[in-house]
Amino acid sequence: MKRIDTSDWKDFRIGSLFERIVKPPVVHSREVTPSDDGIPYVVRSKFNNGVKYLVVQEPHMRPSPGGTISFGAENATFFYQPTEFVSGRDIYYIDTTHLSERICLFLVSCLRRVAEKYTYNYGLFPDLLKEEFIKLPVCTDGSPDWTGMERFVEDIDAIVLKRMHSLRQPAVPQKIDSEHWKPFPIGDLFDIVKGTRLTKANMLPGETNFIGASYENNGVTMHISNKGHIHPAGTITVSYNGAHTGVAFYQDEEFWASDDINVLYPKFPINKNIAMFLLPIIKKTGAKYGFIDKWEKEVMAQDKLMLPSKDGKPDWEYMIQYIEYIGRKADRIINHCNFDGI
């Protein structure tokens, strides 16, 4: 992407641009019920627009308005929220309801530069944010060029839409022929080790991945320096409890797994391609479990994965070749969607 010329832009104090930076009512995670057609539940996350999941909108909840920019005081980043939402602890929003969605998306990119200097232990609270400055394009009278921001994002939208249209394939994607696949007990393929509880209060800041019951960021929810219960790279982590039961990730670095995680130690030579083939199959197998029926390690060991087979054993070579094929196809799509022309 071409670098934007900001030499003629001007610094604006955030507190002067926006009169209202609001702390909405806190809705704790224990108070929400996940729902596929509920209201967004926004938490201190840098992923998925800050939305942990959709939740049932209870009568006592007072949602924050859509058309605003949310941010977390810790793990500070900014997201545009197009619809009403409820939020967890230390979430705030900038009242941008008077601005268009495209202008807000432009502002989010500018505001994220402010967030870069605020670490987890140094929260970006409203009083601090109001005193920060962001650089914006300006009109001849020195005011923010809202029209220019709108047009810039509109141009990007048009280019993205055009390139997405060119990727459409008229043919129906070919399904994998799984007619001759065979079931293999998970316990025959892996040794299963339960993760270890580590409370937030006892976490020491560091570089080691802490894997929790999350469906994003490869399961990494924190980075710690605690020792004693570290698992090696080349293993698979699986959430066995809660809303994300069955969600699996391949770990290529050593890590600490929370007590909501089962760690699968392979009894065969594994690599990333084999793991990528197995992960959605593991997820599908665990989808029948949840808050009530946890996917305990003893049950998991008996459950079976349907896999391609050869001579009565899993056909690892087929899995490797299939993921390599998918990787080459994805690379072609990504190369087609480059934005060097913007």
Same domain, residue pair 40 and 141: yes
Does residue 277 form part of some domain? yes
Does residue 222 form part of some domain? yes
Does residue 176 form part of some domain? no
Q: Over the range 69-106, which residues count as b (16 or more CB within 10 Å of their CB) and which as e? A: bbbbbbbbbbbbbeebbbbbebbbbbbbeebeebbbbb
Same domain, residue pair 18 and 141: yes
Same domain, residue pair 124 and 28: yes
Same domain, residue pair 327 and 230: yes
CATH of the domain at 213: 3.90.220.20
Same domain, residue pair 198 and 303: yes
For 211, the token pair is 């894997």
Same domain, residue pair 15 and 114: yes
Q: What's the domain range around 239?
A: 182-333
pTM of the model as a whole:
0.56
Which DSSP letter does residue 83 get? S
* pLDDT tens digit at each of 342 positions of the chain: 456 788 899 999 999 999 999 999 999 988 899 888 899 999 988 888 999 889 999 998 999 999 999 998 876 689 999 999 999 988 999 999 999 999 999 999 999 888 877 765 667 889 999 999 999 999 999 999 999 999 999 998 888 787 767 656 544 445 677 778 999 999 999 999 999 999 989 999 999 999 998 888 899 989 999 998 999 999 999 999 877 889 999 999 999 999 999 999 999 999 999 999 999 999 999 988 865 678 999 999 999 999 999 999 999 999 999 999 988 887 777 676 665 555
Question: 41: buried, middle or exposed (CB in 10 Å: 19+, 13-18, 0-12)?
Answer: buried
Based on the structure, what is the number of domains in the chain? 2
